[in-house]
Structure 1
Amino acid sequence: MLKYLLLPLIVFSGVAFSKVIHEERSLYRNIIVEDTSDLRCLKFNTKSSQTSQSCMYKNDPDKLVFNYTKLTFASLLVADNPKNVLIIGLGGGTLSNVIHELYPTAKIHNVEIDPAVTKVARDYFNFIENDLVTSSVQDGRIFIKRAAIKKQMYDWIILDAFNGDYIPEHLLTKEFFEEVQSVLAEGGVIAANTFSSSKLYEHESATYHAVFGDFINVSRENRSNRIILAGLKAPPTNEQIKAQVKILEPRLAKYGIDIKAISEFMHFTKDGQDWPADTKVLTDQYSPANLLNF
């Protein structure tokens, strides 16, 4: 792995100074860690864009920064008290850390393809690892294939892989989702971080529906992120969701998660699909990269 030292870069932006505190070229991308006042962000710099993958408040690391990470916890409204959690795509390890604090006896395994990202998460983002919180450097699809062979099961699977431009194509196909389904425990849920503004929106929706049936979209109006909650045998009732909100509200408040508000962003596809019935499903043979442009 190529690593090099970089003199601190300070950029004046409004009233805030941004300083690059780490930069390296990994096997997959340019990785940047940047401080702006109290905010520390992990960024991927690719040929087409520079995107923030994970951020934390240095003086309040428990508080979540990104909208999508907060929306991910809608999972707990449909499948609370996870025992075995699988996270594909590490970033700074924010999700793993919060889940570990919420459920200290749960087993959490993080899968990250880029060893440099894992090291940065440890060195700069307080990524917690112990006997219950583990990680491996591997392609997420290969990991899941091997987990299925070993008959390993997870009751909360979070798909959060991102290559700097979009979700890797091989993690967006019908065949991959079928592999994910094979390691989902009874009563568990899959939470996938994706986008409502993508040209792939309809194809992704059709593909999830082809494998899992009706699912839940969690998204805020005029925001680009959406979380897909899939794999549920039966959708929760409004009464069940309200009961869970009451339990979770005080537990999640310290992380900046307004679970009551998030519960109102849940849209059930059983109440109406927002993609054409003839939308083509993404497969290993049909996953067009040209549609990745927003």
Structure 2
Amino acid sequence: MSHFPPLHRFADLLAGSLTGKPFLYEEGGKLSLSFDISTVQSRMDPAQPDSLVLGYTRTMMGCLLFNPKPRRITMIGLGGGSLAKYCHRYLPDADISIIEISQEVIGFRNEFAIPADSARFHIHCGDGAEHITNSSAEIDILMVDGYDIDGQAKSLCTQRFYDDCFDALDAQGVMVVNMCGGDRQIGSYVSRIRHSFNDNTVVVQSEDCTNKIVFAMKGNGLRFSEKQLLAQARYLEKHHPISLQTTARMLTASLRNGYFLSRQKNHGYQISS
């Protein structure tokens, strides 16, 4: 989810948002999915349906810096399928499972050119938190981007959920979470993630500066040096059309300065700017 879309045909957008249901609209040649007129859940360039238009999605793909060849990817939240389509195209050896609670959102898959289900690509209609609790697969990369009209789903922010995410990951697994930049509860959510992941957590500003992206490692991924991460990014950019060096620099800056997350007495962790 990204904030403050440009408004086009305001009356049509307002009418759509009042239903409380997901709706589509076109702006500047791009197709967008929204729940209300103040946010964009997903955006696609029809000429390049596999490209990552929104900056936060490009930042989330920084998880490849820690695992460039994942075998199993699980995504909670489909939206317009930007991350799902990207991974389907550029990670052909990965088995990809997407859990989306809204059948109406899944119903837009053709409009967003989302691939059909196959041996390695599956969309399931269900509750993401329940799916993780009952998961028996060892996930390499877990992407959490589950939003509705009220914001991030509450079931995807609990201590139990983050504990279950840790348990569901492979020994060197990575969880990456998209968090709305304006959510005042971010500090509490990150505190829970840090607790579940034994402090192996780092938060960065998304590429478009609207959201915060949290990376949490089950293994020792955060022990990579800046030189190692940048070298990995340069190598990956030979195969991926996104600036992973940008994300690598943001990650190492957050790890190096040590001030992005600061513990506040009685208030968990406070996000610093």
SS in 1 for 2:263: coil
1:77 deviates by 0.8
Say whether 1:172 aligns with 2:162.
no
Q: In structure 2, how many angstroms separate the alpha carbons of the residues matched to 1:185 and 1:238?
A: 24
Alpha-carbon distance change, 183 to 233 in structure 1, aligned in 2, over 3 angstroms: same
SS at match of 1:251: coil
Question: 1:37 maps to which residue?
Answer: 28
Aligned match of 1:126 in 113, 133, 136?
113
Fraction of identical pairs, as percent: 22
Q: CA deviation at 1:201?
A: 2.4
Check conservation: 1:214, 1:269, Cα contact below 8 A.
no
| Structure 1 segment 253-264 matched on structure 2, within 5 A | 253=241, 257-264=242-249
1:202 to 187, 192, 196: 187
* SS of structure 2 residue aligned to 1:123: coil
Which SS does the other structure have where 1:34 is aligned?
strand
Distance 1:107 1:211 in 2: 25
Could you tell me how far apart the structure 1 residues matched to 2:181 and 2:38 are?
20
Distance 1:183 1:68, change over 3 A: same
Partner of residue 177 from structure 2, selected from 192, 209, 229: 192
CA contact (8 A) 2:181 2:210 kept: yes
- What do residues 124-179 of structure 1 show as CA deviations (whole Å, max 9, x unaligned)? 101113221001110111111111xxx22110000000112321112111111001
CA offset digits 1:93-132 (Å, max 9, x no partner):
1101101111112100000001110111x22101113221
Q: Please say if residues 50 and 89 of structure 2, whose CA atoms lie closer than 8 Å, have aligned partners that are also in contact.
A: no
Alignment of 1:76-225 (within 5 A): 76-120=64-108, 122-129=109-116, 130-147=118-135, 151-212=136-197, 213-220=199-206, 223-225=209-211
1:62-81 superposed matches below 5 A: 62-81=50-69
- Report 1:4-43 matches (<5 A): 29-43=20-34
Q: Which runs of 5+ in 1 are unaligned?
A: 1-9, 283-294
Normalized against structure 1, the TM-score is what? 0.79
> Structure 1 residues 176, 119: CA separation in 2 closer, same or farther (over 3 Å shift)?
same
Q: What is the aligned residue count?
A: 256
Q: Cα deviation per residue 1:212-255 (whole Å; 9 max; x = unaligned)? A: 113121215992311111024221222220221121112222xx
Aligned AA for 2:34? Answer: K
Aligned-residue offset at 1:91: 0.3
C-alpha distance in structure 1 between counterparts of 2:153 and 2:264, whole Å: 25
- SS in structure 2 of the partner of residue 30 of structure 1: coil
Structure 2: gaps (5+ residues): 1-6
Aligned equivalents of 2:191 and 2:266: distance in 1?
6
The structure with more radius of gyration: 1
Q: CA-atom RMSD, angstroms?
A: 2.7
Instruction: Map residues 46-65 of structure 1 onto 2, 5 A cutoff.
Output: 50-65=38-53
Contact between 2:226 and 2:248, CA under 8 Å: does it hold in 1?
no
Q: CA deviation at 1:279?
A: 4.3
1:123 is matched by which residue type in structure 2? N
- Residues 220 and 96 of structure 1: CA distance in aligned 2, closer, same or farther (over 3 Å): closer
Structure 1 residue runs of 4 or more that deviate by more than 4 Å after TM superposition: 10-13, 23-26, 279-282
